[in-house]
Structure 1
């Protein structure tokens, strides 16, 4: 884990411990995803011997939790909030409203009819 703290974070906006942890999870997931996919392929391949499939399943279960995609949480890049985050803009509902009203989001206008 200490190897990730020494690297410079390439994220902008608000930074707290949760954002740093989520950033670390994303980097670890990106690094280990090919290995996880290979192990899942071996586990699902019924033409392989049962022993090989069982060993692959054991290896997959012993991998660190940060290598799973379910550990990644969408967070607001402006405020660090994890609730009501718009995926397209990666910002929370309140920040979206403030930036849209200020005209800082391209292609977003207040609805009027």
Structure 2
């Protein structure tokens, strides 16, 4: 089980990243636009740097939905490998069965 403060901090980062998503896209578009002048690009870079660090989606960590474990996360299930294995053994994941050959 991850610390509750780490889970809460990650949730807060998701909220902040969603809030600034449109603004970041606008600034990134200006920076990568070939038609923008160097002054406009410079202003966009400065504006992007002034945004909060947590506004960057890169800072969001995929965590297990059940217990918040940050490592061994499986995107398909939204669980860590440990919880996914337990859920599969208990028959809680539809369509998942042990392989045998």
- TM-score, normalised to structure 1, is 0.82
Q: Which residue of 2 aligns with 1:76?
A: 64
Separation in 2 of the partners of 1:106 and 1:27?
Answer: 31
1:57 is matched with 45
**103-112 or 44-53, which deviates more:** 44-53
| Distance in 1 between residues matched to 2:87 and 2:3, nearest whole Å | 19
RMSD between superposed Cα atoms in Å: 1.4
Runs of 4+ in 1 over 2 A off after TM superposition: none
- Aligned residue pairs total 100
Q: Mean alpha-carbon deviation: is it higher for 21-30 or for 41-50?
A: 41-50
Unaligned runs of 5+ in 2: none
Q: Which has the higher helix share?
A: 2
